[in-house]
Amino acid sequence: MGRLFTSESVTEGHPDKIADQISDEILDALIEQDPNSRVAAETTVATGLALVVGEISTNAYVDIAKVARETIREIGYTNNQDGFNAESIAVLTSIDEQSADIALGVDKAYESKQEGVTEDFGTGAGDQGIIFGFATDETPEYLPPAISFAHRLTRQLTKVRKDGTLSYLRPDGKSQVTVEFDEEGKVKRVHTIVISTQHAEDITLEQIRKDIIEYVIKPVIPAELLDDDTIYYVNPTGRFVIGGPQGDAGLTGRKIIVDTYGGTGRHGGGAFSGKDPTKVDRSAAYAARWVAKNLVAAGLAKKVEVELAYAIGVAKPVSIAVDTFGTGSVSDEKIVEVINKVFDLRPAAIISALDLRRPIYKQTAAYGHFGRTDIDLPWEKLDKVEEIKKSL
């Protein structure tokens, strides 16, 4: 047997993803009215309850309870039997303004405050942080295969629920895919697929298993990667009626590996959802992905991980590191030089280059922030490939 690697994804009805979507819908609603809103919105959901807390400085007005209910309604929690109903849950809020001390560093970068400096460095980083971006040529979307397949399964699981193909499905669900690689590191086959999906009480496990394989797995996993030895675990506990926030509390930012690269490559630890783009946890993570994807597309490596590090209030990254895992066509040091030539990774420059002060965030809050083929995201554009090639 070759090397195995596993990644997971969750549906938009998973409790943690409900929380992410509410936080990002609040962000979108604020940015739509006031693009310069400073937002750090955290949500937790439990049986009959959504709690929104955080720090927000804005000229906009948003009815947070209304936004939370609309988000929950769109996901599909409209039935009292789910223990979590958009029409009847309590929505509690506790919101303060952004700390004036943090604002000092964000409003004007440290570099701009130095004696004799005339250049405007724009905003400083909203916090210190280490951020990783990753790209690989193993799939058309430049994502690692396991997380790519896992996201395809959860998107399909939601699709067949919402279009009525499998009307007995409920919003909560998960997928997990184990990929087997050959000696050269190429995808050989899919070794194991796990699907756990919430369902109505009156449906048999046998029916669920048959339908999930037929309508969820086969339409999205390439047939040549499935064989007689592929293992399928569908609702392996035998029953999944109690789900969503009734089955497990949810919290913003608890699915950061699902949001990124499925455990391939490293993670700096910062979550995305509910944060405006002055927070480098979000904007610089998008920039690092943009850099990595363009480097791979330009042929500088088959696989690239980019690390950026920031200090609070300082505009320029304190460090840039690259790892090509031995796949580079030039040295890692040379690639760092290329990054410094081609990309401006100060927060204000990232916000401008990727046009991040607009309401594009809720659509990222489920099924991953990277490699999306169903939505148009600026950090997925291959718009720097020619410039990278010229810089060499």
CA dist 237 and 239 (Å) reads 6
Contact at 8 Å (CB) between 38 and 57? yes
CA dist 299 and 255 (Å) reads 31
Contact at 8 Å (CB) between 48 and 278? no
Question: How many other C-beta atoms lie within 10 A of the C-beta of residue 201?
Answer: 9
Q: What is the chain's percent helix, strand, coil content, to nearest 5?
A: 35, 25, 40
Contacts of 223 (CB under 8 A, 6+ apart): none
List beta partners, residue 336.
Answer: none
CA dist 51 and 270 (Å) reads 21
Active-site positions?
Answer: 14, 16-17, 42, 55, 174, 240, 248-249, 254-255, 275, 279, 281
CA dist 176 and 211 (Å) reads 17
Contact at 8 Å (CB) between 18 and 72? yes
Q: Residue 107: helix, strand or coil by DSSP?
A: helix
Residue 92 DSSP class:
E
Q: Residue 104: helix, strand or coil by DSSP?
A: helix
Contacts of 77 (CB under 8 A, 6+ apart): 13, 18, 84, 85, 86, 171, 244
What the block records as the tokens of 107 is 């409003």
Distances in Å between the Cα of 368 and the Cα atoms of 44, 56, 81 are 20, 25, 29
